[in-house]
């Protein structure tokens, strides 16, 4: 007998075929509602309709660890974990979130996540721009505008222009990267033919999007944009067609009339550009800019591709699964699992100036975010589309490398006289972790810890020397001065795993130490190493 189709998929199919209308704007929850409450309302309503019971809340130690990894990119210290678990404040998670938003590490972690999203994880050119933009809480619309239509007086190899500069030599790649990153749409398939499943993605859409970039060029350290130039393409019937300026929603723009200059004018233009390059000066802006028009069309788009894409990516980043999956398939034939929620979040996001921090804060303060990843209910674990249970997520390279550095330090190392000293200690670990981060894989949806990572930990003496020395600033040095094995194991687990070990763990690890009295420091090093390289430490749960 076939399995019953989940109600949420039935709803999606009805939406696709026009048999069920999505919520109109005036049917959404009130605009002034609390974001976290709105999230829980829509998620819980779908589960209730399907008869699914959500998992309970995560433990205090798990929620603290999860929140710190997501917002500041590192695990808590032993003292932070113990203080949080011991606190009886009703609003301690909210207090934690507000405190983390004020940390310098919050902006650094957000910039790392955004660089990965942009496909520029190691870009030293883009990072300074993002650090400043995110610290100033620029709206996502402003960041988008500054990347796609940057100030032409800025050197293209630094700051916001570096997104275009890194891809300008391959216009097909730039076209699709822009569509994927900013609009959640992969239109690469439509380069050669109309999309076989999505009627709205035609060749005209691909080449229409490409046309916004075809006049842009590299001139030394600057980007220029010509007054002339168009794209033609051949359809599957062999016809040669002119590509209009077309946004993803089908909106076309009739640009001012233009004419290609004659050979003499082109030669003179080339000479001017060469002189500008030699003088290290920017190219004067055109009278009409196609890229400026792309920004205008995107921000005027009543389907809000720009807003919906970043909301979906932010949800995926923090919850572990998007409202629309895959992330680059946000088209009408692939509706969101919770259309009402995405509609409400989109309206709120746009109405509040594309405020990323407001969105992130709302998500991490929701009960949906705070659910345990342990499924102990009846029957099989609910599918991810319900968001009924927390998702286990691999740490990103920066999270993992920084957390390895933090968790291998002693409690004494984190005892500082001022908050500035403490912030500097954190920054020092982040900087020191940068090289190690480059050795780890950026996780995708099918991530598994690979042989390369296992061999790295087993065979790289430099990594072991960084994490397992026995001086007073390191965890091994702290543990070697603890005579009682049970106490030692408890301190090790609080420091590395951020929690109290259970009885079985205490018994097994204490026995391991007791059996090696003549090799105590190496035994402690092995214990710490086992915790640092454990699956529990490698993932955010």
Predicted local confidence at residue 3, as pLDDT: 36
Predicted local confidence at residue 508, as pLDDT: 98
pLDDT digits (tens, 9 = 90+) for 509-540: 999 999 999 999 999 999 999 999 999 999 99
Tokens of 331: 């088209």
Residues 6+ apart with CB under 8 A from 501: 489, 490, 493, 509
CA pair distance 227, 265, nearest whole angstrom: 12
Predicted local confidence at residue 27, as pLDDT: 55
pLDDT digits (tens, 9 = 90+) for 419-440: 899 999 999 999 999 999 999 9
Predicted local confidence at residue 22, as pLDDT: 40
Whether the ω angle into residue 55 lies within 30 degrees of 0, i.e. cis, is no
Contact between 36 and 355 under an 8 Å Cβ cutoff? The reply is no
Predicted local confidence at residue 31, as pLDDT: 80
Please state the pTM of the whole predicted model: 0.92
Predicted local confidence at residue 224, as pLDDT: 97
| Residue 409, strand partner residues | 474
Contacts of 113-119 with CB under 8 Å at 24 or more apart are 113/317, 113/396, 116/396, 116/442, 117/181, 117/313, 118/163, 118/181, 119/177, 119/181
Predicted local confidence at residue 81, as pLDDT: 98
Predicted local confidence at residue 380, as pLDDT: 94
Tokens of 113: 């996540």
Q: Which residues of the chain have pLDDT under 50?
A: 1-26
Stated length of the chain: 541
Predicted local confidence at residue 8, as pLDDT: 45
């Amino acid at each position: 007998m076939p399995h019953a189709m989940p109600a949420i998929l039935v709803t999606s199919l009805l939406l696709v075929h026009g048999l069920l209308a999505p919520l109109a704007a005036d049917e959404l929850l009130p605009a002034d509602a609390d974001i976290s409450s709105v999230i829980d309302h829509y998620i819980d309503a779908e589960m209730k309709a399907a008869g699914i019971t959500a998992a309970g809340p995560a433990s205090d130690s798990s929620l603290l660890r999860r929140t710190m990894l997501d917002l500041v990119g590192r695990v808590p210290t032993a003292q932070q974990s113990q203080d949080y678990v011991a606190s009886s404040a009703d609003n301690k998670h909210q207090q934690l979130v507000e405190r983390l938003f004020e940390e310098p590490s919050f902006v650094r972690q957000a910039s790392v996540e955004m660089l990965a999203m942009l496909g520029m994880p190691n870009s030293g050119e883009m990072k300074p721009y993002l650090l400043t933009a995110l610290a100033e809480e620029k709206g996502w619309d402003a960041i988008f505008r500054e990347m796609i239509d940057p100030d032409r007086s800025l050197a293209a190899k630094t700051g916001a222009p570096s997104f275009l500069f890194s891809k300008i030599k391959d216009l097909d790649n730039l076209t699709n990267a822009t569509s994927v990153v900013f609009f959640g749409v992969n239109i690469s398939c439509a380069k050669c033919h109309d999309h076989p499943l999505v009627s709205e993605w035609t060749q005209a859409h691909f080449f229409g999007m490409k046309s916004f970039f075809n006049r842009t060029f590299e001139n030394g350290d600057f980007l220029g944009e010509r007054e002339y130039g168009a794209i033609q393409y051949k359809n599957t019937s062999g016809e040669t067609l002119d590509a209009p300026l077309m946004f993803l929603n089908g909106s076309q723009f009739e640009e001012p009339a233009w004419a290609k200059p004659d050979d003499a004018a082109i030669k003179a233009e080339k000479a001017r550009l060469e002189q500008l390059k030699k003088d290290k000066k920017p190219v004067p802006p055109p009278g009409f800019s196609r890229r400026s028009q792309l920004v205008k069309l995107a921000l005027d788009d009543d389907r809000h591709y720009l807003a919906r894409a970043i909301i979906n990516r932010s949800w995926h980043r923090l919850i572990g699964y998007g409202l629309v999956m895959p992330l680059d398939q946000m088209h009408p034939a692939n509706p969101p699992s919770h259309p009402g929620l995405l509609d409400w979040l989109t309206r709120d996001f746009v109405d509040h100036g594309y405020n990323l921090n407001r969105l992130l804060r709302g998500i991490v303060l929701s009960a949906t975010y705070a659910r345990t990843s342990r499924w102990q209910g009846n029957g099989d674990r609910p599918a991810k589309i319900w968001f009924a249970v927390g998702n286990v997520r691999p740490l990103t390279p920066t999270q993992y490398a920084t957390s390895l550095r933090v968790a291998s330090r002693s409690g004494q190392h984190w005892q500082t006289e001022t908050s500035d000293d403490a912030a500097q200690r954190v920054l020092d670990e982040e900087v020191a972790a940068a090289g190690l981060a480059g050795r780890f894989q950026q996780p995708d949806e099918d991530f598994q810890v690979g042989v390369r990572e296992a061999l790295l930990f087993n065979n790289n003496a430099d990594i072991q020397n960084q994490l397992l020395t026995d001086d007073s600033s390191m965890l091994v040095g702290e543990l070697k001065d603890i005579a009682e094995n049970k106490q030692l194991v408890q301190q090790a687990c609080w420091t590395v795993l951020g929690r109290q070990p259970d009885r079985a763990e205490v018994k097994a690890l204490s026995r391991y130490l007791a059996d090696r009295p003549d090799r105590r420091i190496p035994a402690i090093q092995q214990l710490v190493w086992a915790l640092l390289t454990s699956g529990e430490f490698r993932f955010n749960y």
